């Protein structure tokens, strides 16, 4: 391959971006040898240090490796242990600004050190009956019940929101069952459904949440489970309104179906905590994650809902991990009650809201109109997804492609931008996003 012919931007970042794009597109395959630094620098008319910088950047993210005299070669795809849609969202060329992750700003998370120190002093000593004790520490259960959007028959904690959804699906859906999902929706959920042998039935959204008529069609087609994100929906940032919840509950009453609510943004969401459990408490499993508000490494999500589902979930879990670390549970209790930590989360919620509003207003000045939404992600309309990704890559900005979020496998005319990480040069970022998405 004539690599030099594909390079438009001859900076180290531009050369690295070109190679990464060719690897993702399959034009460069694992084991292919790249030109030497001396050869490519001569072909491009740049210094050897420029090409060497590009090779170093690619090596740093696991795209290539240097084998001495054997040259620089393309590595197999990184993280091959990731499910397909996770792989589509991972990796990519080095970027000066990565807005692809969907993760919180680490600077806005409450400090864990003080909480760990306090818990180390206060936590009750372990005893021999811990294996048979309740999987939820009493103080955490009390806090959860006080803040839950409806009165759940049972409540427990597991290792993250996707773990909660997976364990619930294993209890309520058999192989081949149909599951109504949001379209667009969360790519790892689609991977999970594929792993469990479940068929997804796409339901589109409007600015208030799932469309009732489409949910009705999905249930009539045989869907026995419905998975929704009630607020800060990923990727659209839509939040279900109280009126829409009432309409959807009216549809669900005419069918026998279990609802799984994934409240993944939890305490950093600005929208009201609206739940279908208010109307259908015996058929709704509500999941609240603390990853975005208090830290992904806590690996804690709370699950509340009917006893018939939760008791079976806890019983099965006793034959696996048993319980979520009670040490981490006590840390979460501390973070939910310590005034400094509480204010830290409240500040994060305000900052994310402000960043989202500021970027939306800046996009508007450049001719791009985006719904208000909530949370840390923004669903940005583009004329052509691939072109937009290439333009942003050339500008040193990485965003998530829209295609993995499509439940119906149709082409995407959006990309997902993690606005929660845009903390500076907002107008420049908005201009770049607008130009990338233009026809």
Domain coordinates in residue numbering, the chain: 3-74, 84-108+341-437, 134-338
Residue 189 has pLDDT above 70, yes or no: yes
Q: Which of 256, 244, 259 is nearest to 181 (CA)?
A: 259
pLDDT of residue 92: 63
Q: Mean pLDDT for the chain?
A: 92
- Pick from 27-31, 163-167, 296-300 the range whose average pLDDT is largest: 163-167
Over residues 117-129, mean pLDDT: 73
Residue 13 is predicted with a pLDDT of 84
The predicted model scores a pTM of 0.83
pLDDT at 252: 98
Mean local confidence (pLDDT), 416-427? 93
Query: What CATH class does 3-74 carry?
Result: mainly alpha
Q: From CA 333, how far away is CA 231, in angstroms rounded?
A: 23
Query: Where are the strands (E) in 57-167, listed by range?
Result: 64-66, 72-74, 97-99, 154-158
Higher per-residue pLDDT: 81 or 202: 202
Task: Say what the pLDDT of residue 80 is.
Answer: 64
Distances 83 to 34, 156, 339, 410, 436 between C-alpha atoms, Å: 28, 27, 39, 20, 29
**Residue 66 φ/ψ, nearest 5 degrees:** -90, 130
Whether the pLDDT of residue 140 is over 80: the answer is yes
For residue 433, the model assigns a pLDDT of 97
Residue with tokens 């740049």: 46
Q: What CATH number matches the domain at 134-338, 3.40.190.10, 4.10.520.10, 3.30.43.10, 3.40.640.10?
A: 3.40.640.10
By three-state DSSP, how is residue 245 classified?
helix
pLDDT tens per residue, range 2-15: 899 999 889 988 89
Calculate what percentage of the chain has a pLDDT beyond 70.
Answer: 96
414, 437 Cβ separation under 8 angstroms:
no
Given a cut of 80, whether residue 70 has pLDDT beyond it is: no
Closest of 386, 375, 387, 384 to residue 417, by C-alpha: 375
Per-residue pLDDT, averaged over 62-66, amounts to 85
Stretch 337-352: mean pLDDT:
97
At residue 127, the pLDDT reads 53
CA torsion angle 293 294 298 303 (round to 10): -50
Residue 131 pLDDT: 82
pLDDT in tens, 15-54: 998 998 898 878 898 889 999 999 999 999 999 999 998 9
Considering the domain delimited by 84-108+341-437, tell me its CATH architecture. Answer: Alpha-Beta Complex (3.90)
């Amino acid at each position: 391959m004539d690599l030099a012919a594909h390079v438009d931007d001859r900076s180290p970042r531009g050369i690295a971006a070109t190679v990464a794009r060719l690897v993702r597109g399959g034009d460069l395959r694992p084991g292919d040898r790249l030109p030497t630094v001396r050869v490519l620098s001569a072909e491009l008319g740049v210094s050897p240090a420029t090409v060497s910088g590009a090779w170093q950047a690619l090596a740093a993210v696991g795209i290539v490796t240097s084998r001495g005299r054997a040259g620089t070669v393309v590595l197999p795809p990184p993280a091959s242990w990731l499910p397909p849609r996770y792989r589509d969202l991972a990796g990519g060329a080095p970027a000066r600004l990565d807005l692809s992750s969907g993760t919180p700003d680490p600077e806005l998370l409450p400090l864990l050190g003080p909480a760990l120190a306090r818990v180390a002093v206060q936590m009750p000593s372990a005893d021999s009956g811990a294996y048979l004790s309740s999987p939820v520490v009493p103080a955490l259960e009390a806090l959860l019940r006080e803040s839950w959007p409806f009165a759940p028959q049972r409540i427990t904690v597991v290792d993250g929101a996707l773990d909660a959804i997976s364990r619930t699906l294993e209890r309520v859906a058999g192989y081949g069952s149909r599951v109504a999902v949001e379209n667009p929706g969360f790519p790892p959920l689609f991977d999970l459904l594929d792993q469990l042998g479940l068929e997804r039935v796409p339901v589109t959204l409007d600015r208030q949440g799932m469309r009732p008529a489409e949910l009705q069609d999905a249930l009539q087609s045989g869907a026995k489970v419905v998975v929704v994100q009630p607020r800060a929906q990923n990727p659209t940032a839509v939040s279900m309104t109280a009126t829409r919840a009432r309409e959807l509950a009216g549809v669900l009453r005419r069918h026998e179906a279990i609802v799984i609510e994934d409240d993944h943004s939890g305490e950093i969401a600005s929208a009201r905590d609206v739940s279908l459990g208010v109307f259908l408490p015996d058929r709704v499993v509500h999941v609240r994650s603390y990853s975005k508000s208090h830290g992904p490494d806590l690996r804690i999500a709370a699950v509340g809902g009917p006893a018939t589902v939760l008791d079976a979930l806890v019983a099965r879990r006793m034959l696996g991990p048993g319980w979520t670390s009670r040490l981490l549970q006590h840390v979460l209790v501390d973070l939910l009650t310590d005034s400094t930590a509480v204010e830290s989360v409240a500040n994060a919620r305000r900052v994310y809201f402000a960043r989202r509003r500021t970027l939306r207003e800046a996009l508007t000045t450049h001719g791009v109109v985006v719904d208000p939404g909530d949370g840390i992600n923004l669903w940005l309309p583009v004329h052509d997804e691939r072109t937009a990704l290439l333009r942003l890559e050339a500008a040193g900005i990485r965003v998530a492609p829209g295609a993995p979020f499509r439940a119906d496998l149709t082409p995407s005319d959006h990309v997902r931008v993690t606005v929660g990480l845009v903390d500076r040069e907002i107008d420049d970022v908005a201009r770049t996003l607008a130009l990338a998405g233009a026809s």
